[in-house]
């Protein structure tokens, strides 16, 4: 019956199912319970199953479209029938001695004939108003009416006198009242613990969601930076080519001017050669003598003409080195930062030169606590003046453990209040190292005559933040 009860009871409200709905992992819950649960922890149409914690998808819109289970109805239909009456009515009671089930009508005559039998409700819950009355296995005529707290055992009167003499015993009914009160207290404690653990799970799931969201944002920023670098590199390559084309065109124009001038001079020489050939072929000495001055002038120009030396111009590109340092300088660096903050409130009047400590906070596999102490320091004074002593508040974060040596850790201490905040102080390495701890210690955080601005109802609050930073450069 316990197994059947589990199957027809919702695991959230612990009552019989109302409009049961099945989710992806196969577990079933009341429609109303499922709606409340989704409103609390559901994100982006997904949620962890309340039983197995498997990540499941929930339908967009109305969750009533989820499938309904038929197993619950079959269990209800399989509820035992009365073993006595002919009409086979639904049984509500079970006799532990007769091993039979009874409906309400058949139970009455059974109890009149067998008043000493133990009868309980079919649902395995509380006994009927006629409490089960069993007899002692040793003293068969004695009823089990007492409870021994020392032995955690139900006993009869004879056992109380003999075997349990001197033990802490009391009537079973009276002790049952105590137990019920104890169970109620335990129930309250368990409910509080369940709420605490559920909040812890919700916070953990939120951390996962925030972590993944930050990864998406970082990936987008990386893509944007790479795209910007590619565009900048492409632009720089285009500028190189444009500069090369302009420079070569300029040199080309210089060479073309020299070539053009040389071709003009060649044409003049060819013209003179033509004139000479005409003269040499002719018989008139008169024509020869007329051309002599022109040819001689041309010869002087030829003798005076010098060829211009031309530069051999070419372009080369020296490929830059693509090493990791160069790329990291352009792209930047990726930081994976894990942060955890612990806050503790101290009584202002309890601070002393030895120091007061917070309770220990466990952050993953490390144990941290906060220390606050009052210490007197001598202030500098000019020569001839007497030094004065000023009391300061010193604070510190302590990582317990002989081998506790944090790496890539940045510890931030902050003195906080409702109306003022101290300057934030952070260090990347511990200032002191003790035998069994690593200490991040900061002195003269606040002079005591200024502490009143941080004190409320005789208390002041210190917050410490531990950041573990891993950087990919």
Give the tens place of pLDDT for each residue, 366-376: 889 999 999 99
Choose one of 327, 345, 367: the last residue of a domain.
Answer: 327
How many domains is the chain built from? 3
The mean pLDDT value for 437-454 works out to 84
Do 36 and 22 belong together in one domain?
yes
Instruction: 100-108: list long-range contacts, CB under 8 Å, 24+ apart.
Output: 106/82
Answer yes or no: is 95 within a domain: no
Mean pLDDT of 65-85: 61
Q: Are residues 465 and 338 in the same domain?
A: yes
Q: How confident is the model at residue 220 (pLDDT cuts 50, 70, 90)?
A: very high
445 inside domain? yes
pLDDT band at 5 (very low <50, low <70, confident <90, very high): very low
Is 404 within a domain? yes
**Residue 301: strand, helix, or coil:** helix
Task: For residue 123, name the pLDDT band (cuts at 50, 70, 90).
Answer: low
- Whether residue 364 sits in one domain with residue 297: no
Name the pLDDT band for 433 (thresholds 50, 70, 90).
Answer: low
Instruction: Tell me, yes or no, whether 338 and 462 share the same domain.
Output: yes
Are residues 24 and 67 in contact, defined by beta-carbon separation less than 8 angstroms? no
Domain endpoint, select from 47, 78, 109: 78
Residue 248 shares a structural domain with residue 316 = yes
Residue 301 lies in a domain: yes
Taking residues 299-319, report their average pLDDT. 80
- Domain match, 286 and 362 both: no
Domain containing 319: what range? 241-327
Q: Are residues 349 and 295 in the same domain?
A: no
Q: Domain check: are 322 and 392 in the same one?
A: no
Provide the b/e sequence for 150-173 (b: ≥16 CB within 10 Å): eeeeebbeebbeeebeeeebeebe
Give Cα separations from 216 to 225, 226, 228 (angstroms).
Answer: 14, 15, 18
The CATH number for 457's domain is 2.60.210.10
CATH number of the domain within which 1 lies: 3.30.40.10
Residue 223 has pLDDT above 90, yes or no: yes
CA 205/CA 50 separation, integer angstroms: 13
Is 18 inside any structural domain?
yes
191-216: pLDDT as tens digits: 999 999 999 999 999 999 999 999 99
pLDDT digits (tens, 9 = 90+) for 128-169: 334 444 678 778 788 888 888 888 888 888 888 888 888 988
- Asked if residues 357 and 370 have their Cβ atoms less than 8 Å apart, the reply is yes
The answer to whether residues 257 and 354 belong to one domain is: no
Residue written as token pair 């910007």? 228
Q: Which of 52, 78, 104 is the last residue of a domain?
A: 78
**Confidence band for 403, pLDDT divided at 50, 70 and 90:** low
DSSP 8-state secondary structure symbol assigned to residue 419: S
Q: Which is it for strands 361-363 and 356-357: parallel, antiparallel or unpaired?
A: unpaired
Run of H or E residues at 266: helix 172-281
Residue 345 sits in the same domain as residue 455:
yes
Output the six-digit token pair for 111. 């109890």
More confident residue, 218 or 276: 218
**439 in a structural domain:** yes
In a 13 Å sphere around the CA of 52, the CA atoms on its Cβ side amount to 10
Tell me, yes or no, whether 317 lies in a domain.
yes
List b or e across 56-73, with b for residues whose CB sees 16 or more CB atoms inside 10 angstroms.
Answer: bebeeeeeeebeebeebe
Q: Domain check: are 308 and 246 in the same one?
A: yes
3-state secondary structure 335-371: EEEEEEEEEEEEEHHHCCCCCEECCCEEECCEEEEEE
- Cβ pair 441, 425 in contact under 8 A: no
377: which DSSP letter? E
Q: Is the pLDDT of residue 346 over 90?
A: yes
Q: Does residue 403 lie in a domain region? A: yes
Phi, psi dihedral angles at 12 (to 5 degrees): -90, -55
Asked if residue 304 has pLDDT above 80, the reply is: no
**Closest among 463, 255, 298 to 372, alpha carbons compared:** 463
pLDDT category at 1 given cuts 50, 70, 90 is very low
pLDDT at position 86: 56
Q: Tell me how far apart the alpha carbons of residues 304 and 298 are, in angstroms, rounded to a whole number.
A: 10
pLDDT at 85: 72
Which one is predicted more confidently, 39 or 362?
A: 362
Q: 396 and 308 in one domain? A: no
The pLDDT, as a whole number, for residue 3 is 44
Is the pLDDT reported for residue 67 higher than 60?
yes
């Amino acid at each position: 019956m316990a197994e059947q009860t589990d199957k027809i009871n919702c695991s959230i409200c612990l009552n019989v199912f109302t409009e049961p709905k099945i989710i992806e992992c196969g577990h079933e819950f009341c429609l109303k319970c499922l709606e409340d649960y989704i409103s609390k922890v559901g994100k982006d149409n997904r949620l962890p199953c309340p039983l197995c914690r498997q990540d499941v998808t929930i339908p967009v819109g109305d969750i009533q479209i989820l499938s309904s289970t038929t197993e619950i109805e079959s269990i209800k239909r399989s509820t035992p029938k009365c073993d006595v009456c002919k009409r086979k009515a639904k049984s509500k009671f079970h006799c532990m001695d007769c091993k039979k089930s009874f409906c309400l009508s058949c139970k009455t005559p059974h109890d009149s004939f067998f008043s000493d039998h133990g009868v309980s409700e079919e649902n395995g819950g509380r006994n009927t108003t006629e409490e089960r009355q069993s007899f002692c296995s040793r003293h068969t005529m004695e009823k089990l009416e007492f409870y021994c707290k020392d032995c955690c055992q139900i006993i009869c009167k004879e056992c109380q006198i003999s075997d349990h003499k001197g033990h802490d015993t009391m009537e079973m009914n009276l002790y049952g009242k105590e137990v019920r009160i104890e169970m109620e207290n335990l129930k309250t404690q368990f409910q509080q613990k369940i709420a605490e653990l559920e909040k812890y799970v919700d916070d953990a799931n939120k951390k996962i969601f925030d972590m993944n969201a930050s990864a998406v944002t970082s990936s987008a920023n990386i893509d944007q930076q790479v795209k910007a670098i590619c565009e900048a590199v492409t632009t720089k390559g285009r500028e190189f080519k444009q500069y090369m084309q302009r420079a070569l065109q300029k040199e080309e124009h210089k060479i073309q001017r020299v070539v053009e001038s040389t071709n003009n001079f060649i044409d003049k020489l060819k013209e003179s050669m033509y004139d000479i050939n005409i003269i040499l072929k002719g018989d008139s000495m008169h024509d020869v003598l007329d051309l002599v001055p022109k040819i001689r002038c041309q010869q002087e120009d030829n003798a005076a003409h010098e060829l211009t030396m031309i530069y051999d111009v070419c372009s080369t590109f020296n490929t830059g080195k693509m090493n990791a340092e160069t790329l990291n300088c352009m792209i930047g660096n990726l930081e994976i930062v894990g942060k955890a903050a612990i806050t503790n409130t101290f009584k202002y009047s309890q601070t002393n030169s030895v120091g007061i400590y917070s309770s220990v906070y466990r952050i993953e596999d490390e144990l941290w606590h906060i220390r606050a102490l009052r210490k007197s320091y001598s202030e500098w004074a000019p020569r001839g003046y007497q030094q004065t002593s000023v009391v300061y508040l010193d604070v510190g974060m302590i990582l317990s453990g002989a081998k506790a040596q944090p790496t890539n850790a940045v510890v931030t201490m902050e003195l906080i209040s409702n109306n003022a905040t101290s300057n934030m102080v952070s260090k990347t390495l511990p200032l002191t190292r003790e035998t069994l701890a690593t200490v991040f210690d900061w002195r003269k955080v606040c002079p005591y005559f200024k502490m009143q601005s941080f004190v409320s109802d005789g208390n002041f609050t210190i917050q410490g933040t531990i950041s573990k930073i891993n950087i990919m450069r």
